[in-house]
Amino acid sequence: MISLEVFLKNGQTTISNLLVENYRRIGMSNEEFLLWLQLHRYVEAGDSFPDLMKIAEDMSYNQQEIYYLLNQLVQKQFIQIVSQKDLRGMMHDSYDLTLVYQKLALLLSQKTKQVEEKQIQEKISELYQNFEAEFGRPLSPMEYQRIGQWLEEDHYQVELIQLALREAVLNQAYSLNYIDRILLSWERKNIRTSEQVMDEQKRRKRQMMQKEEPTTKTLPKISLHNWLEEESND
């Protein structure tokens, strides 16, 4: 049985689970990934340009197979061989394995973008459904186009159009022209987000409450002249 001391002496190889989960999605084959792991193992241990014959032995591959896999990794830009001079002017080669993380970052960024685009499309679909529900009828092609212009040309947020629709419904104005005037009014006030709309509504509400407060009437001034004292002097 191998002792704990031997396990600790041989160290560990640590990589991100994101790479383990997605190496096939970024274009690496199983064999290429295994070779990349072997190179990573040596680089982590301080050997930046390990002997490929030792790796071939560990993987039970022959020299030709290892060089083919290495060439594939270089061509696919998962690794690159870097040559640098040391302090004595000697050239030394090393494997740069960080390219694989750049490809992984790009993949994850594309995934995030796809999720965001899907969420936006779901919001837009819900927006059209809300218009039809509030208007109590299907939207006409012209109305679809008008709402699309708000989104694509005027770049109004979906949430902002939803709030404008609610304002129109509260005022019983089931008209895209009315909603358009609301949106233009907000734009003139530089209101672009739902949070800014809420702040504006609170401000208007405070103004209305102040107008409704009873005003204090100014009482006429009363003379402090002492009429009794004047009579006694007479």
pLDDT in tens, 138-188: 999 999 999 999 999 999 999 999 999 999 999 999 999 999 999 999 999
Q: What local confidence, expressed as pLDDT, does residue 165 receive?
A: 96
Q: What local confidence, expressed as pLDDT, does residue 215 receive?
A: 55
The answer to whether the beta carbons of residues 11 and 47 sit under 8 Å apart is no
The domain defined by 8-97 folds into Arc Repressor Mutant, subunit A (1.10.10)
Q: What local confidence, expressed as pLDDT, does residue 74 receive?
A: 97
Token couple for 178? 């009315």
Round to whole Å and give the CA distance between 75 and 173. 63
Looking at 1.10.10.630, 1.10.10.10, 3.90.1150.10, 3.90.960.10, the CATH number of the domain 116-202 comes to 1.10.10.630
Q: What local confidence, expressed as pLDDT, does residue 177 receive?
A: 95
Tens place of pLDDT for every residue, the chain, 234 residues?
A: 667 666 566 678 889 999 999 999 999 999 999 999 999 999 999 999 999 999 999 999 999 999 999 999 999 999 999 998 888 888 889 999 999 999 999 999 999 999 999 999 999 999 999 999 999 999 999 999 999 999 999 999 999 999 999 999 999 999 999 999 999 999 998 988 888 888 888 887 888 888 776 655 555 554 444 434 444 454
Q: What local confidence, expressed as pLDDT, does residue 231 receive?
A: 46
Instruction: Delimit the domains of the chain by residue range.
Output: 8-97, 116-202
The pair phi, psi for residue 82, each rounded to 5°, is: -110, 135
The pTM assigned to this predicted structure is: 0.68
Q: What local confidence, expressed as pLDDT, does residue 123 receive?
A: 95
The answer to whether the beta carbons of residues 148 and 158 sit under 8 Å apart is no
In sequence order, which ranges of the chain are alpha helices (DSSP H)? 4-10, 17-22, 30-44, 52-59, 63-75, 99-135, 141-152, 158-170, 176-188, 194-212, 227-233
